[in-house]
Structure 1
Amino acid sequence: MKYMKLRIVPLILIITILLSTSCSQPEIQIGTEIAIEDDSPTEGGVLNIGCIEPHSFNPLLVNSKSYNDVAKLLFNGLVEYDSTLKPVLVLAENIYKMDGKDEFIVKLKENIRWSDGEPFTSEDVIYTINTIKNSNDSIYKPRVELIDSYKAEDKYNIKIRFKGFAYNIYDHLNFPIVPKHVFQYNPSSVPVGTGLYKVVAYNKLKYMELERNQYSVQQASPYISKIIINFIKDTDSFDTAFQSGQIDLINTTSYDWEKYKESKNVNTYKYISRDFEFILINFKNPVLSDIYIRKALMHGINRTAIIEKYFLGNASIVDTPIRSDSWLFDGDVNKYSYNKAEAQYAINSANFVFNENTRVFQREVDGKIQQLRFKLMTNSENDFRIKAVEDIKMMLEDNGFVIDVEILPFEEMIKKIEKGEYDLALVGANLSPEADLYEFLHSSQISSGKNYGGYSNPRVDLLLEQSLYNLSPEDKYINYIELQRIIKDELPIISLFYKQYALVMRSKVKGEIQVDSENLFRTINNWYLDE
């Protein structure tokens, strides 16, 4: 923190004399120095960050959360998501569809340089896509699977053809671009990028030192002049490194960050993650295809109690897959809450009555008896879901349902879901910022996509198709407002919540600190150190 020194001038002597007449008032002496805090940012300082040293510094070949976070300081993509989860062009100047063809032209920004001064061109983009496609396990491989062909038209233009109907073009092009001249012969080369910082020193197994990049595509000069990336042994060692003062921040997903609040020199910044928990509904089951029963299920699950019990309240309850921090969010409060009266009203509206002999709510339709009895399954690898299904079973049975729980290995569960051999399934998904609703809800995806429940609504199909065909942001927002209304009304899935994680930092880090799931260091150019 900077301080300004102020000196009391002789004009205040009269006040001093007046104050001296009262023994109860302290006397202000001429020449006294008063320290006043100045919150204006200061340049310089060293920020220490932890990272597990990757086998390669090429971010396309690394499946390491800690390095992928660090890579945001060094690399940029053609397209990235802003703090409202809206896709924005970064290294791309424009992306447009060619008339009458399933091809797109990606026009690159000109006069961009890598941190070593070499020019950024279409050859780097081609090399990046080749690297992803040729990798067996790149985390970005699913994004390029629909890219059928691609070639550089010239130094700054690339033509890309997608296989069939490619929804969400921007999401498919959301991956870091790496320099061909650096990584093509040695994937373990010290990284060179277009980000806010550049690597100036590397000591294997110990650290990597970053300084401000004068060629940054952001054209910004951060206040913090140096960042030390300390290589940490493993995930479990991050807490020790933070507690000992070796690193200044820690990204935690374990929900025990509350313990850091006991420290006076620590601040916590929570954010909504991509991790969405929900219950799949099999619409082939005639009872579950009844909207009243789906509403009874929604009102019968106490989502607040679940997140308080297992996540210390650190989750964001939603009625749809659209996150509350998204530019597409309708802004409305959640329509559904835990309400036994509403659940019972919905069951009654579906003409179910309690049978004293079977001890189950049932109704007769076309001569067939239908019961409020469902099988709820989840995967055995997830400790939270194994426990949560028992809570959900208890809640729903308290509202008149009979629930049989089935715990299966993930692969076996997926096979059953794909075959439609289930009623309800507690699952999770790591959704892209624009929440791939086309995959989940469009009727064309029932047999070939992720619309496992078999939900179908022609209006939803139309809205999703319009939103994907180069619709203006304004029109897309309007479409998604209607989509959220329909999802709340028809409940194609039972949305539960998005998990929340946190970035815990020492209080010496000040400035405009905004954290989100897409970039922990989004506003780092406005951070500064008060040491």
Structure 2
Amino acid sequence: MTENSQPPVESNKRGNIFLKILKKVNFFGRVKNITENNFEEKKNIDELLVESLNTKRLPSLRQMKYLPRFLSKKEKIIMRFSVSAIIICLILIGYIFLKNNLVDKPAYGGTYTENLVGYPQNINPLYAQLNEVDRDLSKLVFAGLLKEDASGQLIVDLAKEWFVDEAKTKYTFKLKEGVEWPDGEKFTSGDVLFTIEAIQNPDYKSPLRASWTGVQASIIDEYTVQFSLPAAYDSFLTNLTVGILPVHLWQDIFPENAELAELNVKPVGLGPYKFDSFVKDKQGFIKSYTLVRNEKYHQRKPYLEEITFKFQPTFEAAVESLKNKNSDGLSYLPQNLKDQLETRKDLNYYFLSLPQYTAIFFNQSKNNALADKKVRQALNLSISKEKILTEVLNGQGQIIDGPILPGMPGYEERGGETFNVEEAKKLLAEAGWKKKEIANSAGATATTTEIETDGNGLSKFLYKDGQELAIQLTTTNQPQSAAIGELIQKYWQSVGVRVTLANVDISKIQKDIITERNFEALMFGEILGSDLDLYPFWHSSAAASQGLNIGGFRNESADKLLEAIRKETNQDQKASKLKDLQKIIKDELPAIFLYNPNYTYVVANKIKGITIEKIFSPSDRLNNINDWYIKSKKGFK
């Protein structure tokens, strides 16, 4: 080897070592088959060195800014178009995703105002059954062990769970712990026991007393109560929806003075809302009543922050207020007034069925003529129920002849119209009621201020033993009720009965008329409730002044059937017993059953979240009020 040949050999040796390294490394981390022979053909060694030292798969943003320097004009145009297309596609994908997944969700806040006809008197679960306004307010202020959901099903409220023994005579309830009254006091079994015992105490004069007859309530521990029944009672659980009173506030109030307590107008309960304020007019009537959200509520708090009820003397005034946008809703819309709201296009109408019958109840102790069954039968036959339905109710309802309503076990379609004037006159004649001759011997009609004539020498109305057949018919002063009253007056007078109408203010009908049984014939509506139990309305134990047996009906056979119906769990047997009960009531005729009305609820469409599937009482329209909302926010499904 010569001296001149050695350096190239050394250089080749270093090149060989470097080539071995390059064979092991590349940009993608894979071994390249780079041989000594084809190395120069594939890449320049400098490029390969840079590539081998770059450990990242993708160029950095800093590197990307130099990319245009290496692109041709055509490549730049293609690149810009591609980037624009990608951006547009991403925007469209984002829009579609948000459209399909982003929705309006309820947000807290907002005020709802509703018109009610009437005035609050006792916002107290013990007495609320007697006044529709009180029922509405009590529904929001108080909570029971159980409650009804939007579909009318019973679910837990203050109760955590309950157990029933095999005989269905012992009901044990576990209460929710950690529940507080608005003033911070703890809710316990003592509150439940006090409420039930108050209902059962005759000194409190609660109309619910009949529903709790024979039930023994007892405390097992601080959060457990037990109810013992004398016999199985199929609908007992419905009783447990009654609102619970705070014993620490009521225990010092004498039962005899309970109806006078301030807590009846400034109630304290465990419901979703609590009392805030009210405004009275110069006469002392409460004109508006405001409730605010109960921040200590034991379930999810309602979305609406505040609810204000405005009390109107008549449905006309209530409709006018709604028409002028002074309120957002109306508790009940009579069909004859619906046209007045045509100018307001932002209203939603909810058409609901209601287990209610409107009837004429007879107080036989106030008018001896009504004690005669033939007279009552004649009064029934002289009324055209079909005309009442078509001319006054615009067909919104169903004609009935007894207390069993459509949908109840034992209900049967009526046979047809019972209107029969001639048969009515015949029955009155059989009962001894006849027109009185008032013509003198010359055939001239005698002049008298006491007896009206029919123009043929006879009295216009019927007499018996010198006594005129006269009845006072009492109803509320609402136009629909007054219109029906005038029709009935016309029908009864057509068969010789003098009828005077007494239209009483709706705020006074309960206290002055029903409670005192101060009427001869009363046209009034009774709501049966979710259990469709006729016991409180027709059992003799409820015939006292504070009971719901308005006509004072007493019948031993009917009492036994009512007691048996409560215990019956077989629906076929229950239906059979109810049919037997209806036969007794239709035969004795303590009341003339007129119709089962439809119920129309009106609310502005700004109120969202209303889901009303079924109601058993007008106040049930508020069952899911916790879900109602005005304000909203965006959120994902």
Provide the TM-score with structure 2 as the length reference.
0.53
Determine the C-alpha separation between the residues in 1 that align with 2:222 and 2:394.
52
Cα 1:175/1:306, change in 2 over 3 Å? same
Which residue of structure 2 lines up, in the alignment, with residue 404 of structure 1? Answer: 498
Q: 1:94-114: per-residue Cα shift (whole Å, max 9, x none)? A: 587999xxx975522344553
Give the SS at the match of 2:305.
Answer: strand
Question: 1:69 corresponds to which letter in structure 2?
Answer: D
Please list, as runs of the form range in 1=range in 2, the aligned pairs for 1:239-318 lying within 5 A after superposition: 242-243=322-323, 247-252=327-332, 256-271=337-352, 272=354, 274=356, 276-280=358-362, 282=364, 288-290=372-374, 297-306=379-388, 316-318=398-400
Residue number among 458, 467, 470 corresponding to 1:375 in the alignment: 470
RMSD: 6.1
Quick one: structure 1 residues 439 and 149, their matched pair in 2 at CA, closer, same or farther if it must change by over 3 Å?
Answer: closer
Supply the distance in 2 between the matched residues of 1:229 and 1:159 (Cα, whole angstroms): 36
Report the 3-state secondary structure (helix = DSSP H, G, I; strand = E; otherwise coil) of the residue aligned with 1:227: coil
* 2-structure distance, mates of 1:240, 1:390: 24
The CA deviation at 1:319 is 1.7
Counterpart CA distance in 1 for 2:106 and 2:628 is 11
Matches within 5 A, 1:98-497: 106-111=171-176, 113-114=178-179, 120-129=187-196, 151-158=218-225, 174-178=241-245, 193=270, 197=272, 209-210=292-293, 215-216=298-299, 226-231=303-308, 234-235=311-312, 242-243=322-323, 247-252=327-332, 256-271=337-352, 272=354, 274=356, 276-280=358-362, 282=364, 288-290=372-374, 297-306=379-388, 316-324=398-406, 328=408, 330-337=410-417, 339-340=419-420, 343-344=421-422, 374-379=469-474, 382=477, 388-398=484-494, 401-406=495-500, 425-428=521-524, 430-433=526-529, 437-438=534-535, 441-442=538-539, 450=549, 452=551, 456=555, 458=557, 460-468=558-566, 470-472=567-569, 474=571, 475-484=573-582, 487-488=585-586, 491-497=589-595
- Cα distance, 1:328 vs. partner? 2.5
> 2:559 and 2:250 mapped to 1: Cα distance?
43
2:110–2:629 contact (8 Å) kept in structure 1: no
Larger Rg: 2
SS of 1:226's partner is: coil
Conservation of the 8 A alpha-carbon contact between 2:382 and 2:492: yes
- Structure 2 vs 1, CA of residues 261 and 176 (structure 1 numbering), >3 Å: closer, same or farther? farther
Classify the secondary structure of the residue corresponding to 1:332. coil
Separation of aligned partners in 1, 2:141 and 2:631: 24
Aligned-residue offset at 1:130 = 6.8
Give deviations 1:352-396, integer Å, cap 9, x for gaps: 6998996799xxxxxxx999x843322387576676555324324
Distance in 1 between residues matched to 2:206 and 2:540, nearest whole Å: 28
1:72 aligns with 2:139: yes
Q: Residues 424-447 of structure 1: CA distance to partner in whole angstroms, max 9, x if unpaired?
A: 723425444256644665578789
Q: Aligned equivalents of 1:317 and 1:465: distance in 2?
A: 27
Q: Could you say if the C-alpha distance between residues 297 and 89 of structure 1 is closer, same or farther in structure 2, counting changes exceeding 3 Å?
A: farther
Change (3 A) 1:162 1:329: closer
Q: In structure 2, what is the Cα distance between the partners aligned to 1:58 and 1:417?
A: 22
Distance 1:357 1:239 in 2: 48
- Aligned partners of 1:81 and 1:121: how far apart in 2? 22
SS in 2 for 1:520: helix
Between the aligned partners of 1:426 and 1:189, the Cα distance in structure 2 is 32
What amino acid is the match of 1:395? Y
Distance 2:434 2:370 in 1: 19
> 1:43: which partner in 2?
105
Q: Distance in 2 between matches of 1:488 and 1:160?
A: 35
Judged with a 3 Å threshold, the aligned counterparts in structure 2 of structure 1 residues 380 and 505 are, in CA distance, closer, same or farther, namely closer
SS at match of 1:263: coil
1:69–1:416 CA distance, 2 compared to 1 (3 A): closer
Cα displacement (A) at 1:301: 0.8
Taking the aligned partners of 1:257 and 1:231, their CA distance within structure 2 comes to 23
Cα offset for 1:122?
0.9
What's the CA shift string for 1:285-315, capped at 9, x where partnerless?
699435xx76654343123433555556555
Secondary structure of 1:334's counterpart equals: coil
CA, structure 1 residues 86+403, in 2 after alignment: closer, same or farther (shift >3 Å)?
farther
Contact 2:111 2:308 in 1 (8 A): no
**Aligned partner of residue 348 in structure 2, secondary structure:** strand
**Distance verdict in 2 for CA 1:127–1:297, change over 3 Å:** closer
Matching residue's letter, 2:613: Q
Q: Secondary structure at the match of 2:304?
A: strand
Cα contact 1:279–1:426 (8 A) shared by 2: yes
Distance 1:144 1:317 in 2: 28
Over 3 Å counting, the alpha-carbon distance change for 1:247 and 1:383 in structure 2 is closer
- Checking the alignment, whether the CA contact within 8 Å between 1:319 and 1:334 is kept in structure 2 is yes
CA distance in 1, matches of 2:165, 2:581: 25
Aligned-partner Cα distance in 2 for 1:286–1:503: 37
- Counterpart secondary structure, 1:483: helix
CA distance in 1, matches of 2:489, 2:311: 37
Question: Could you say which structure has the higher strand fraction?
Answer: 1
> How far is 1:467 from its partner?
1.5
Q: In 1, are the aligned partners of 2:388 and 2:484 still within 8 Å (CA)?
A: yes
What SS does the aligned partner of 2:417 have? coil
CA distance in 2, matches of 1:211, 1:412: 34
Q: Could you give the per-residue CA deviations for residues 322-342 of structure 1, whole angstroms, max 9, x where no partner exists? A: 343xx52545333442644xx
Contact 1:503 1:515 in 2 (8 A): no
Equivalents in 2 of 1:210, 1:396: separation in Å? 51
User: Counterpart in 1 of 2:605?
Assistant: 507
Q: Which amino acid aligns with 2:242?
A: F
Percent of pairs identical after alignment? 19
CA distance in 2, matches of 1:58, 1:444: 25
Helix, strand or coil at the partner of 1:298: helix
Q: How many residues align?
A: 464
Deviations 1:65-85 (A, max 9, x none): 667535534542235567788
AA at the equivalent of 2:413? V
Structure 1 CA distance, aligned partners of 2:395 and 2:318? 23
Conserved? CA contact 2:151–2:614, under 8 Å: no
Q: Which runs of 5+ in 1 are unaligned?
A: 1-30, 362-368
| Matched AA of 1:152 | I
Shift of 1:176: 0.7
Offset of 1:473 from its aligned partner?
A: 6.2
Tell me if structure 1 keeps the 8 A contact 2:404–2:411: no
Residues 240/210 of structure 1: CA separation in 2 closer, same or farther (3 Å cut) = farther
Q: In 2, distance between residues paired with 1:344 and 1:472? A: 44
Give the whole-Å Cα distance in 1 for the aligned partners of 2:419 and 2:238. Answer: 38
Seen in structure 2, the aligned counterparts of structure 1 residues 134 and 181 have a Cα distance that, compared at 3 Å, is: same
Cα distance, 1:495 vs. partner? 0.6
**2 CA distance for matches of 1:120 and 1:416?**
36
Distance 1:198 1:192 in 2: 8
Taking a change above 3 Å as real, the CA distance of residues 96 and 392 of structure 1, as seen in their structure-2 partners, is same
Give 1:143 shift: 6.7
TM-score, with length taken from structure 1:
0.61
CA shift in 2, pair 1:82/1:349, >3 Å: farther
Pairwise CA distance, 1:496: 1.5
Q: Is the 8 A contact 2:115 2:311 kept in 1?
A: yes
